[in-house]
Structure 1
Amino acid sequence: MRLRLLSAVYPLMAIATSASLIAKPEPVKTLAIGADAPDFSLPGVDGKNYTLKDYSEAKALVLVFTCNHCPDARAARGKVIALHEDYKDKGVAVVAISGNDDKALRLDELGYSVYGDSLEDMKNVAKEEGYKFAYLYDGLTQKATKAYGAVSTPHVFVFDAERKLRYQGRIDDARRSRANKGTPYVREALDAMLAGQPVKTETTRPFGCSTKWSWKRDAVAEDNANWKALPVTLEDLDTETAKSLAANKTEKLRVINFWSTTCGPCIAEFPELIETYRRFQNRPVEVITISSDPVKDRAKVEKFLTSQQAALSRRTIGSVKKEGRKSNNYIYTGDNLDHLAEAIDAKWNGALPHTVIITPGGKVIWRHNGRFDAVELRRAIVGYLDGLTGE
């Protein structure tokens, strides 16, 4: 009996010990000026593997540690592209590296981007942005990111022909602006190096989102557990309340999804709907679901919503209460679904699922009948929010 108990306990202890090791933050030291460039061997979005030796003929090497999701990194994309274009004929190689562990990102950290930080998502970004330089993935081991000491996205390292570090820090002083502002530190460093001159400013602070180290996976697990523990609610919806939802007299972008428990595409897309809500919960965005099931099937609707963890985010509760509402999940109680369609989107043909995005003030800016593409839904949301907050 004692042996059986020990054999049961020790594996658990090993698992706990392993988890504690993963969760422990590791000290990261940024490479010092004058240091040699650490070697790396990383997969690129083009399916090839790249090492430091692949750039041995370059007069200068610019390594930009960046990612897909961070607003600072997104704002810098055009600048990295311009660096490549402006300096490629001068013998300068530009390489982008994503050192984020994409599984160490909570969903609510993805509210400024259409994509996450996986290698597949990187391929999409590189294609859409037209990257003509290597975009490498280091999220699996993070060895290169640790070796260079890249602490944020973006974080730039500029090396001379001997691969000695001559500059590290930020691109310029623009922060999240897509425009060039302040001192162009990277360009100044490159111009000085190519002219055989000393670099005037060798180090700056690299402002941006922190690197998502693998030990942050525990925070993701905790966030998912907290979300799963949230209560799921369902309220009745009459035609007048539907009209008020469509009028959207709030400051939030409102995504409304019409669905039914008997609709296969509705069921298939629902997890992506909830994921989208969780992604944007820190921003002025909410997702409202409206079931067209008969009221007699209310228990069935509630059971499905619970299985999908269609909860109300704690960050949204206040604004919902302010409107005098209790939930973002509804079942329509009217006798005529035409009245529901006319109240929210008269262009809805009645087929399920149907999704609309409504701005503050009640304007429909996006609609889709049938199963939506999650990327296109997020693109519409981010596009609207960027129009309000971008430069």
Structure 2
Amino acid sequence: MMPRLIPSLLTLVALSAGLASAADDYPKPPPLGTPLPHFELPGIEGGTYEVKTYTPESFADAKLLCIVFTCNHCPTAQRYEERLKQLTTDYGPKGVAVIALNPNNAAAVRLDEMAYTDLTDSFEDMKVRAEHKSFNFPYLDDGETQEISRVFGPVATPHVFIYDQDRKLAFQGRIDDAELPQYIKHQDTRAALDELLAGKKVSTPTTRVFGCSVKWAEKAEGYNKIWAEQVKNEPVELKEAVAADFVALRENKDSGKLRLINVWATWCGPCVTEFPDLVDTNLTFRGRDFEMVTIAAEYPKMSAKALKFLKGQHASMQNYIFGDTDKYANIEAIDPEWNGALPHTLLVNEKGEVIYRQTGPVDFLELRRIIVPALDQITPWGGLDGN
């Protein structure tokens, strides 16, 4: 099970009544020529992935500092990760220190804003991301307090701030002008670095940026309040189903969606323990080509107890319970390869192919790393197919 790194739906519902509205006056980038502010932030070293504390003095030997505000969850930021690695490879030998800095408060990222990611923006998940993606640059975190990010004023992720040899702001803006490499016309960050390394002023020192907005902590208050109230009021239903229905669910012929099927029971401890993560998974991905189905492996007379549990979890996905007493026929119908132990989970793609099968508790990080690319296969994000 993934650790709880952002507020669960149940936590948001409990907190929503007393939360204030989000502030509208967000920080903005400082003027060109502004000195580099002092910072002291935890970070993950590129290559070794050791946790260290970084300050400007950590980069005293660098001719230039290229600070890139980025994060884990934003699909735009993800598209630039390989370009940041290449930027580090190309410009590190020239005396440029490339530094990634996460400005996002993890609690301010709603579940439904994470439909394109396997990880949250917490520092723990930053460690996982840095090693999984082989970052060769330090990855710093300011999400807990956001004190330094408020001084820099990044607008979106990614957002670049380049400081010259005197540690004055010489450029702020985008990395380049296209998320998809085949459409790039202007390499803005590289051009700025080249000019500064040549002893020149940056000819285009400011550009627009494009990406996910920075998730300031106060955003969690207003946005999560509205969203949690909406989800809390969604109807929760439980229907009876039999073997033929379960076969149709598994075959997934007509939905055109990725379908996650979880079989559980009220008396199954691991089922109950992981159920909040299943609810969160549904809320995260349901805005895409995704649907979740839960099946209570209970006799029909247990419907009232199962429904009470589902309502307590705000489980507004499709919920079924065995509509007859022939459990073994239902087990065979749900998954011929299943031995009957609970919980049991299947992920079926839009072609009816089982692409994930797990008897026992789910590793939700593993599951998300299967869900995200499978959804991108159905509907590519941002024209990833080149169209």
TM-score (norm 2): 0.88
> Aligned partners of 1:345 and 1:27: how far apart in 2?
51
Deviation digits for residues 234-293 of structure 1 (CA, Å, limit 9, x no counterpart): 011122222221222112110000111121111111111111111112111111000111
**Matched residue of 2:130: which SS?**
helix
Given that 2:260 and 2:292 are in contact with CA atoms closer than 8 Å, whether structure 1 keeps it comes out as: yes
> What's the counterpart of residue 36 of structure 2?
37
> What's the counterpart of residue 319 of structure 1?
none
- The answer to whether 1:279 aligns with 2:284 is yes
Correspondence for 1:56 among 54, 60, 64: 60
> Aligned partners of 2:178 and 2:375: how far apart in 1?
19
Equivalent pairs, count: 357
Given that 2:299 and 2:325 are in contact with CA atoms closer than 8 Å, whether structure 1 keeps it comes out as: no
**Matched residue of 1:44: which SS?**
strand
> Aligned partners of 1:291 and 1:178: how far apart in 2?
47
> Aligned partners of 1:152 and 1:212: how far apart in 2?
9
> Aligned partners of 1:180 and 1:373: how far apart in 2?
37
Given that 2:102 and 2:143 are in contact with CA atoms closer than 8 Å, whether structure 1 keeps it comes out as: yes
Given that 1:76 and 1:178 are in contact with CA atoms closer than 8 Å, whether structure 2 keeps it comes out as: no
Correspondence for 1:336 among 326, 335, 347: 326
> What's the counterpart of residue 24 of structure 1?
23
Correspondence for 1:361 among 327, 351, 355: 351
Correspondence for 2:106 among 102, 107, 120: 102
- The answer to whether 1:385 aligns with 2:375 is yes
The 5 A counterparts of 1:1-391 are 20=20, 23-45=22-44, 46-175=50-179, 177=180, 181-218=184-221, 219-248=223-252, 249-312=254-317, 328-388=318-378, 389=380, 391=384
> Aligned partners of 1:178 and 1:311: how far apart in 2?
39
> Aligned partners of 2:182 and 2:282: how far apart in 1?
30
- Structure with more contact order per residue of length (Cα contacts < 8 Å, sep ≥ 6): 2
Letter in 2 for 1:44: G
> Aligned partners of 1:26 and 1:363: how far apart in 2?
48
> Aligned partners of 1:81 and 1:179: how far apart in 2?
18
> Aligned partners of 1:76 and 1:340: how far apart in 2?
46
Runs of 4+ in 1 over 3 A off after TM superposition: none
Deviation digits for residues 103-144 of structure 1 (CA, Å, limit 9, x no counterpart): 111111111101111111111111111123211111122122
TM-score (norm 1): 0.87
Q: Which moved more, 1:334-343 or 1:223-232?
A: 334-343
Given that 2:175 and 2:189 are in contact with CA atoms closer than 8 Å, whether structure 1 keeps it comes out as: yes
**Superposition deviation, residue 343 in structure 1:** 2.7
**Matched residue of 1:49: which SS?**
strand
Identity %, equivalent residues? 43
For the aligned residues, what is the CA RMSD? Answer: 1.8
Give 5+ residue unaligned stretches, structure 2: 1-17, 45-49
Letter in 2 for 1:365: I
**Matched residue of 2:51: which SS?**
coil
Given that 1:358 and 1:364 are in contact with CA atoms closer than 8 Å, whether structure 2 keeps it comes out as: yes
The structure having more radius of gyration, on CA atoms, is 1
